[in-house]
Structures are given as C-alpha cells and as structure tokens.
Amino acid sequence: MLVIPAVDVKGGRCVRLYMGDKDRETVYGDPVEMAMKWQELGARRLHVVDLDGAFQGVPVNLAVVREICSALSIPVEVGGGVRSLKTIEVLLGAGVEWAILGTMLVEDRHMAREAARSFEGHLIAGIDARSGWVAVKGWEEGTSLNALELARWCEGEGFSAIIYTDISRDGTLAGPNLEETARIAREVSIPVIASGGVSSLEDVLEVAKLEPLGVMGVIVGKALYDGRVDLREAQRILDGKEG
C-alpha cells in the first residue's frame, strides 16, 4: 500500500485547509519545493489539488502543476476544477498521470462517461462525502447522491480508481473514516484510495488493514506537514521492511 502525500495549491502556495474551509488555511510554502521534498523522502505517487480551481470551476494553478510534473519522476494525480474534456487534455499534456473528476461525476454524467472512454487509464473518481452523501464544487455544495451509488457507477464506466474523502475529517487529524472506506472498497472491484483525517502512523496502519478489500493507498496531508507521520518510516513499514 502507498502513502501518498498531498500538495494542495491555493494562490500559488502550498496550503492545508481545515474541513475544506477556504477561509481556514495554514500555509506551508512553495508547492514545487514541497513536492520535491516528498519525492526525496520516498513518495511513489503525489496527490495535487488546485484548490482555487475547485472553487472557481476551472484550473487556476496550471503553471504550478506543470512545474511539479516537470520536477518529479514519480506519477502525479491532480484534481480541482476538472470539469471539461479540454481541461483533462491540458492536464495530461502537462505531465499529469491521472486527472481526478469530482463535480463532473454529479453534474454531467454524459461528459464523465465520454471522458472515461476518451482518456482510458488516466481518470480517477474523486468521491468527497459528508455522512455518506456526496459534496461538490470544492465541498461547498451538498447533494442527495449516495457515495456508494456513485462509486458503483464509476466502476462501471471504467475509472482507474476511486479516492474516497470524508470531508468532515479532512485537515482535522481526527482519524480516517475506516468504516465508510471499507464499505466502498467492498462494493467495487477497482482500487480505492483513502483520504481525510490521518493523524498518525497508527492511522496509516489501520488503513493498511483494508488493503485486502482493495484499498491501495492513503493520502496524507496535514500529518506529514506537522511531522506527526514520517513518510519514509511509514512507507518502509508498509513495505514490510521494518527495522
């Protein structure tokens, strides 16, 4: 299982938000430097979110994304404002390995289906939920769509993986929602990546217990930046190379 560092970009800076609230941010500096740091510490994949893009509906920090992809040798997945086929094309052209679709999955199923067929192998479904119900547009709007139903639809359309984020825990260090993550993983055959709330190595190891269900990675943000999780140590333990 992979520990996947998160680099969230807002206003050209690397930040972390509390429960997705754009007015409650902590700034951690230059996103390209942070991305390179995580690669140097052993990351095998990087998770990047254009927060401005998520709120505005179109990519805003594309130059930063392109610079990150150019600086790294590991694959990069990017979400935030990915709401058109052209945006996906631009991101993949910038060196992104996987574009993450979120709002499009809810608001334009036809386009999402077309995207899955046009960019096979390069799309991830980003399912962000509160209490099992999907939220969109930078988590500012709730929906009446059940997260599990959306996961099943994405599986059927050929998405490469699902990132399941519990919004109520993201940035809180309250621990991941293991129950909901396991529920999603049991019901779909494509890989699931857990996200939201990881606060410690113990949390990472708890997520790792879900690997037999199909959970292939866990995204870690604030806990890495605050030093609560040592990336190199965590990945070594997951690889069975403890000591």
Concatenated DSSP letters of the chain: -EEEEEEEEETTEEEEEETTEEEEEEEEE-HHHHHHHHHHTT-S-EEEEEHHHHHHSS-S-HHHHHHHHHH-SS-EEEESS--SHHHHHHHHHTT-SEEEESHHHHH-HHHHHHHHHHTTTSEEEEEEEETTEEEETTTTEEEEEEHHHHHHHHHHHT-SEEEEEETTTTTTTS---HHHHHHHHHH-SS-EEEES---SHHHHHHHHTTGGGTEEEEEE-HHHHTTSS-HHHHHHHHTT---
Domain membership of residue 221 (yes or no) is: yes
The predicted model scores a pTM of 0.92
Which residues does the annotation mark as catalytic? 8, 128
Cα torsion angle, 212, 183, 102, 219, sign: negative
Number of domains within the chain: 1
Residue range 219-231, pLDDT digits in tens: 999 999 999 999 9
- 81-108 average pLDDT score: 96
- Percent above pLDDT 70 for the chain: 91
Residue range 18-52, pLDDT digits in tens: 765 667 778 899 999 999 999 999 999 999 999 99
Domain membership of residue 8 (yes or no) is: yes
Find the CATH number of the domain harbouring 224: 3.20.20.70
Q: What was the pLDDT predicted at 172?
A: 59
Domain membership of residue 160 (yes or no) is: yes
Inter-residue contact 82 to 51 (CB < 8 Å): no
Domain membership of residue 243 (yes or no) is: no
pLDDT band, residue 171 (cuts 50/70/90): low
Average model confidence (pLDDT) for the chain?
A: 91
Residue range 176-234, pLDDT digits in tens: 899 999 999 999 999 999 998 899 999 999 999 999 999 999 999 999 999 999 999 99
pLDDT band, residue 242 (cuts 50/70/90): very low
Domain holding 184, by residue range, is 2-238
